[in-house]
Amino acid sequence: MLLRAIFPNRIHSDVLFDLFLVSSMIYVHIILNMPALFLIVIGFFFLRLYISVMEYFIFQRPEKYRIKSLLENGWSRSEVFIQGCRIQFYQNNGEKSKPAILFLHGWRSSASRMIQRMKFFTEHGWSVIAVDLPNHGSSDAVGKWSAEFSTSCVINIINATKSEYSASPFFVYGHSMGGFIGLRLCQRASEWSTDIELNSIIFESPMTKYSLILEETYRILRIPRIIRGVIDRRILTTVSRLQTVSMEFASIQQADIPQWGMPHVPSLVLQAEHDARLGREHYNALIGLLDKHSLDYESHLISSLTHTGSDENSERTKLLETFLENRTNISFFR
C-alpha cells in the first residue's frame, strides 16, 4: 500500500514490489544458506518480476512524446473533466447550414497534427471539432492509458457540445488509432446524446485489431511464446480493474473488430497503400468484415499516401470530395 501511495501508477508499484521480493529471496538464500531447492522459489519470483517489467513496457504512455497544442486562429479551446482528467478539445464553427465533423488523431499525435486535414473542411464552411486525447497535446495524463477511456472522453465531448451540432449532419474522421476509437464510438452509440445522429465515418489507415499490436510488441520485447498467455491474462486483469473502462474484458479478441466495434453507418476507408507503420493487416481485416456483413462502405488504396506525415494529399482530397458530396443533402462546396 505504501508503494502504491508513492507510485500511483499500479504497474510501477508492481515492478518495484516484485523487485523487492526477488532481492529479499536472494538475500535470505545467501545469509541463511538455504538449500538449492530454494532456488526454485527465487526463480518463481524472477518470473513474476519479468512479467511485471514486460507489462510496464506494454502499458507505456505516450506522454513524453507530446506534440504542441492547436493554437491556430479561428479555433476556440474548451475542456471537459472525466474522472478528474482534463481533456482539451477545440472547435471551429462554420455555417449553420453545413455539416459538422469530429477529428480523432493517432498515437503520439495531437489535434494540431490534423490541422491540414481539418482545414479542408473549415474552408468549405463545415464545423470542426478536434480532441487532444489523454496523454496527448494539452490534455492531462492518466496512469494507464487505454483506448476505452479515450472513447469515454470523446463521448463526453460529443454530449457536451450536442446543442451546437444537433441540427447538422455529423461525421467522424479517425486516423490510425483515431480510427480504432471511431470503431468503439460505433459500438457505444447508445451512450451518445440522441440529439446527435452520425451520418458517416471516415477511416484513414485505421488500427482495427489490438491483438496485432500486442503481437508486434511481444516480438519487439522478445517475449517467449511459452509465457505470452500468462501475460495476456495479466493484461486483461489490469485493464478490467481500471476504473476508466466501461466493461470487463475477458479476452484480447474483445479489443479486435468486430467485438471492439463496427461501423453502423456508411463508411469511407482511405488506406495508405504502402503503410510502413501498420501494414495492410488492419485494413484487410476491416474490409473483410465489411464485406461479410454487407455493410455500406467504399475503400481506396492510395499509393501516394503514407501512414504519418501526410498532411496534404491531393488523391485523398478528391476521394473525400466525391464521398461527401454523395453523403450530404447540403452541397459540400460553398
**Predicted confidence (pLDDT) at residue 99 exceeds the cutoff of 50:** yes
Quick one: pLDDT at residue 41?
A: 75
Structural element, H or E, at residue 80: strand 76-82
Computed over its alpha carbons, how large is the radius of gyration of the chain? 22
**Residue 244 clears pLDDT 80, i.e. is over it:** no
pLDDT in tens, 204-243: 999 999 999 999 999 988 999 998 998 898 888 877 776 5
Q: Residue 196 pLDDT more than 60?
A: yes
Residue 296 has pLDDT above 60, yes or no: yes
The chain-wide mean pLDDT, for the chain, equals 86
Instruction: Give 255 or 5, the one with higher predicted confidence.
Output: 255
- What pLDDT, on a 0 to 100 scale, did the predictor assign at position 1? 33
Helix (H) or strand (E) segment spanning residue 199: strand 198-204
Q: For residue 264, give Cα distances in angstroms to 185, 218, 320, 327.
A: 10, 32, 19, 15
pLDDT value of residue 172? 97
Listed by start position, the domains of the chain span: 2-58, 74-210+242-327
What pLDDT is attached to residue 13? 67
* Cβ neighbour number for residue 310 with a 10 Å cutoff: 19
Bigger pLDDT: 198 vs 45: 198
Pick the more confident residue, 4 or 76: 76
Among the residue ranges 55-69, 147-161, 249-263, 280-294, the one predicted with the least confidence is 55-69
Cα–Cα dist 320/306, whole Å: 16
Q: N- to C-terminal Cα distance for the chain?
A: 61
Residue 31: φ, ψ to 5°: -70, -45
**Digit-coded pLDDT (tens) for 122-176:** 999 999 999 999 999 999 988 778 899 999 999 999 999 998 988 889 999 999 9
37-54 mean pLDDT:
78
Q: Indicate the pTM of the whole model.
A: 0.85
Band of pLDDT at residue 46, cut at 50, 70 and 90: confident
Q: Domain 74-210+242-327: give its CATH superfamily.
A: Alpha/Beta hydrolase fold, catalytic domain (3.40.50.1820)
Q: Kindly state the average pLDDT of the residues 263-284.
A: 95
Query: Is pLDDT of 30 > 80?
Result: no
Query: CA-CA distance, 75 to 93, in Å (whole number)?
Result: 8
Say whether pLDDT at 3 is over 50. Answer: no
* pLDDT at site 8: 39
> What is the reported pLDDT for 273?
95
pLDDT at residue 236, rounded to an integer: 85
Smallest CA-to-CA distance from 243 within 330, 168, 118, 142 is with 142
